């Protein structure tokens, strides 16, 4: 397969909160079309669209009841075709979210399975007779047992890794796999360029089902045990690629967790199952099984983690680099110490992750520096997983206030507040009443103002994208090797990208204090600077707080 995507910039749209075209308070496909010029101007090539399929929205569309139809709140299949045409006209590509570990309990397959667990459709899921007992003591991602009584048929149990309304599909069944491949093919034929592949490590179970050592007082064990113990997922992934992606030279990015070190090359090597996969290294810093045990990220941890990923992947493949997505809090609120948050530090973080080796992915609103939302009360939260975090914290004995504080701090809903287009009412997201609260900082942080301000975070993103896509520097930014510098110097994040007979140095003074450094070589010129000025004297450089530059060196 070709690597047509390797010099491209990806932008994730979480449609419900992107742009509402018809005033019902919910973002939609026509709303995306309205903003294509904005994205094109930013420099985006590939849009990853989170689910817009038919869904009861128990998990915000990651619970699909019909893979080949569009949720009416988002539009119609004609709207999708229109979006695809409008993107093609602008030389842009669309990738959809492929959620095939599970479907919705409202999917016709599951409904038929419930009616008759012994039917063909019963075998599309993991369904067992209840009289044999609960097959495993596994706790799902959103809390509680992965086993529940089959709706309408309480003599049986079925398996769900996530919410109980998201039954897992049985990938061991070749007929189910065929259905999935048919559906993937149907979308690729329609013109989508590929997929972001959801929760893919969960499709392989550790069979036969059995108990693991309990890790909490509930007597259950984390579902991570299942992922880590499963063997043989590669057979499914190789088959899926051969039956679908390969035929279209599609671009795929996997949501991969807990992969085995020895299998990395199989996943994203030259002939890998996927084109790339996300680097979740930074997203995992300080996380524990329960949110009240999470710890904050320090610049030191952040640097160590991104550098480790770069080294790990060096001769293997390209990772997709992120600072946030729809499942995480806002990157600027996570990777910049509280109190240091300002436009300069936001640009510093942006440059640090953006020029790493790999494919840069931007999540909606990141380009204008959107921050976490100051939620005040549980009633403001929609996300099932945050509500579970809160309940788990309460059960562990935290006060309501403490439980809320930690659940809200790390809530996925921080990233799900509507996009801030302007300082007009509802941040210009909708003319109606928004489905979800707008972050009150929209008067200060919005796209319209930043488009008019050359010092804005948004215009800095535009500059970064231009530089990264400049064909003159392709040998450096797309192909170039990564090599760290000043690795042991605290609060300095620095690395080379090495091109043909030249290299660039990204240098970030990741702290509030200024800092002087003696560079190994006198730089030839400055390709990017997140401030207006620079103090450079020969190979002596003085960087102000969070000042970040890219220097070109030739030899
Ligand atoms: C992935 C999605 C997340 C969803 C889960 C279940 O992790 O990114 O939003 O809740 O899968 O589909
Ligand atoms: Ca709408």
pLDDT digits (tens, 9 = 90+) for 100-117: 999 999 999 999 999 999
Give the per-residue pLDDT at 211. Answer: 98
CA–CA separation, 168 vs 546, rounded Å? 46
C-alpha 175 to ligand 1 mean position (Å): 24
Residue 87 class from Cβ within 10 Å (0-12 exposed, 13-18 middle, 19+ buried)?
Answer: buried
Q: Which is the closest atom of ligand 1 to the Cα of 162?
A: 6
Cβ(58)–Cβ(468) under 8 Å?
no
Question: Which pair of tokens denotes residue 507?
Answer: 């240098």
Strand ranges (E), 279-403: 319-321, 359-363
Torsion of CA 354, 359, 360, 364, to 10 degrees: -170
pLDDT digits (tens, 9 = 90+) for 275-297: 999 999 999 999 999 999 999 99
In whole angstroms, give the CA distance from residue 166 to residue 201.
16
Band of pLDDT at residue 256, cut at 50, 70 and 90: very high
3-state secondary structure 223-267: CHHHHHHCCCHHHHHHHHHHHHHHHHCCEEEECCCCCCHHHHHHH
Q: Tell me the pLDDT tens digit for each residue of 351-389.
A: 999 999 999 999 999 999 999 999 999 999 999 999 999
DSSP string for 398-464: --HHHHHHHHHHT-GGGG-SPP---SSGGGGS-SS--SSPPPGGGGTS-HHHHHT-TTSHHHHHHHH
Q: Is the pLDDT of residue 555 over 80?
A: no
Nearest CA to ligand 1 atom 7: 199
Q: What is d(CA 183, CA 177) in angstroms, rounded to the nearest whole number?
A: 10
Is the confidence at residue 491, as pLDDT, over 90? yes
| pLDDT of res. 12 | 99
H-state helical runs in 92-214: 108-115, 174-190
pLDDT value of residue 253: 98
Closest-lying ligand 1 atom to the alpha carbon of residue 63: 12
Q: Is the pLDDT of residue 317 over 90?
A: yes
Tokens representing 8 are: 């491209």
Measured in Å, residue 321 CA sits from the centre of ligand 1 at 18
Give the side-chain half-sphere CA count within 13 A for 497.
Answer: 24
Judged by its nearest atom, the ligand closest to the C-alpha of residue 162 is 1
Please tell me the number of the ligand nearest to residue 167's CA: 1
Residue 316 burial (10 A CB sphere; 0-12, 13-18, 19+): middle
Closest CA to 181 of 267, 264, 246, 226: 246
Q: What percent of the chain has pLDDT over 70?
A: 100
Tell me the two tokens of residue 14.
Answer: 């979480």
Ligand 1 nearest atom to the CA of residue 99, by list position: 12
Cβ atoms of 511 and 541 closer than 8 Å: no
Residue 310 binned pLDDT confidence (cut-offs 50, 70, 90): very high
pLDDT tens for each residue of 230-246: 999 999 999 999 999 99
DSSP state of 296: P
Q: Which atom of ligand 1 is nearest to the CA of 327?
A: 9
405 contacts: CB under 8 Å, gap ≥ 6: none
pTM higher than 0.95: yes
417 pLDDT band, cuts 50/70/90, is very high
CA 171 to chain centre: 24
The three-state secondary structure class of 471 is helix
Give the SS3 label for residue 192.
coil
What tens digit of pLDDT does each residue of 19-71 get?
999 999 999 999 999 999 999 999 999 999 999 999 999 999 999 999 999 99
CA atoms within 13 A on the CB side of 295: 7
pLDDT for 288: 94
Residue whose CB lies within 8 A of the most ligand 1 atoms, among 56, 101, 327, for a mutation test: 327
Measured from CB, residues less than 6 Å from any atom of ligand 1 are 59, 62, 99, 162, 198-199, 255, 326-327
Q: What would the DSSP string read from start to end of 25-42?
A: SS--HHHHHHTHHHHHHH
What percent of the chain is predicted at pLDDT more than 90? 100
pLDDT tens per residue across span 163-178: 999 999 999 999 999 9
Q: What is the mean pLDDT of the chain?
A: 97
Cα of 78 from ligand 1 centre, angstroms: 26
Closest-approaching ligand to the CA atom of 29: 2
The preferred substitution site among 48, 49, 162 for testing ligand 1, maximizing ligand atoms within 8 Å of CB, is: 162
Q: Catalytic residue numbers?
A: 198, 255
d(CA 300, CA 543): 18
Q: What is the CB-side half-sphere exposure of residue 18 using CA atoms within 13 A?
A: 27
The answer to whether 195 touches 255, Cβ cutoff 8 Å, is: no
What pLDDT is attached to residue 59? Answer: 97
Ligand 1 center–CA 153 separation, angstroms = 27
Q: Which residue is associated with the tokens 């392709």?
A: 474
Q: How confident is the model over 412-434, as a mean pLDDT? A: 98
How high is the pLDDT of residue 348? Answer: 99
Question: In sequence order, what are the residues at sequence separation of 6 or more whose Cβ sits closer than 8 angstroms to the Cβ of residue 291?
Answer: 389, 392, 393, 406, 407, 409, 410
Tell me, in angstroms, the distance from the centre of ligand 1 to residue 198's CA: 6
226 pLDDT band (50/70/90 cuts)? very high
CA of 140 to the centre of ligand 2 (A): 32
- The preferred substitution site among 59, 64, 200, 223 for testing ligand 1, maximizing ligand atoms within 8 Å of CB, is 59
Query: Which pLDDT does position 520 carry in this prediction?
Result: 95
For the chain, domains (ranges, CATH) are 10-101+174-200+230-461 (3.20.20.80), 479-554 (2.60.40.1180)
Task: Look at residue 542 in the predicted model and tell me its pLDDT.
Answer: 98
Q: What band does 322 get if pLDDT is binned at 50, 70 and 90?
A: very high
Are the CB atoms for 27 and 35 separated by under 8 Å? no
The answer to whether 230 and 138 are in contact (CB under 8 A) is no
Task: Pick the residue whose CA is nearest to atom 3 on ligand 1.
Answer: 327
Distances (CA, A) of 377 to 210, 216, 373, 390, 405: 39, 27, 12, 11, 9
């Amino acid at each position: 397969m070709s690597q047509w995507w390797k010099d491209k910039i990806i932008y994730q749209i979480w449609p419900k909160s992107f742009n509402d075209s018809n005033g019902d308070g919910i973002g939609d496909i026509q709303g995306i079309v309205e903003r294509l010029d904005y994205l094109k101007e930013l420099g985006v090539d590939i849009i990853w669209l989170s689910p817009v399929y038919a869904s009861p929205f128990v998990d915000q569309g990651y619970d699909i009841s019909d893979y080949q139809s569009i949720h009416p709140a988002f539009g119609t299949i004609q709207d999708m075709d229109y979006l695809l045409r409008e993107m093609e006209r602008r030389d842009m590509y669309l990738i959809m979210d492929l959620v095939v570990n599970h479907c919705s309990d409202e999917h016709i397959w599951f409904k038929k399975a419930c009616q008759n667990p012994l039917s063909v459709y019963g075998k599309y899921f993991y369904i067992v007779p209840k009289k044999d007992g609960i097959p495993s003591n596994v706790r799902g991602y959103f809390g509680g047992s992965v086993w529940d009584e089959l709706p309408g048929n309480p003599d049986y149990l079925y398996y769900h890794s996530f919410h109980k309304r998201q039954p897992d599909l049985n990938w061991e069944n070749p007929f189910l796999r065929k259905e999935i491949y048919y559906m993937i093919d149907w979308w690729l034929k329609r013109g989508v360029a590929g997929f972001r592949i959801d929760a893919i490590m969960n499709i392989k179970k550790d069979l036969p089902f059995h108990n693991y050592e309990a890790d909490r007082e509930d007597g259950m064990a984390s579902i991570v045990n299942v992922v880590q113990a499963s063997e043989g997922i590669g057979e499914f992934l190789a088959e899926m690629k051969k039956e679908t992606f390969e035929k279209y030279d599609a671009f795929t990015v996997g949501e991969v967790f807990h992969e085995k070190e020895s299998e990395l090359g199989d996943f994203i090597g030259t002939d890998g199952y996927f084109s790339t996969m996300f680097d979740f290294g930074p997203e995992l810093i300080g996380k524990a099984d329960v949110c009240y045990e999470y710890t904050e990220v320090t610049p030191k941890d952040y640097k160590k983690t991104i550098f480790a990923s770069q080294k790990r992947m060096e001769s293997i493949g390209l990772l997709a680099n992120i600072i946030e997505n729809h499942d995480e809090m806002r990157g600027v609120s996570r990777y910049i110490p509280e109190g240091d948050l300002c436009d300069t530090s936001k640009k510093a973080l942006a440059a640090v992750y953006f020029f790493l080796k790999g494919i840069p992915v931007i999540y909606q609103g990141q380009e204008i520096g959107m921050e976490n939302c100051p939620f005040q009360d549980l009633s403001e939260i929609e996300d099932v997983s945050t509500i579970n975090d809160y309940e788990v914290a309460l059960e562990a004995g935290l006060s309501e206030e403490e439980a809320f504080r930690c659940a809200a701090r790390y809530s996925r809903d921080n990233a799900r507040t509507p996009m801030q287009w302007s300082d007009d009412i509802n941040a210009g997201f909708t003319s109606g009443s928004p489905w979800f609260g707008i972050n009150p900082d929209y008067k200060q942080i919005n796209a319209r103002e930043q488009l008019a301000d050359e010092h804005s975070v948004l215009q800095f993103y535009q500059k970064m994208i231009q530089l990264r896509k400049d064909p003159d520097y392709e040998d450096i930014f797309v192909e170039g090797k990564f090599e760290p510098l000043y690795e042991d110097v605290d609060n300095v994040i620095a690395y080379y990208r090495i091109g043909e007979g030249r290299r660039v140095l990204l240098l970030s003074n990741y702290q509030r204090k200024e800092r002087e450094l003696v560079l190994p070589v006198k730089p030839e010129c400055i390709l990017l600077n997140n401030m207006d000025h620079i103090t450079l004297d020969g190979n002596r450089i003085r960087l102000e707080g969070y000042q970040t530059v890219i220097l070109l060196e030739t030899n």
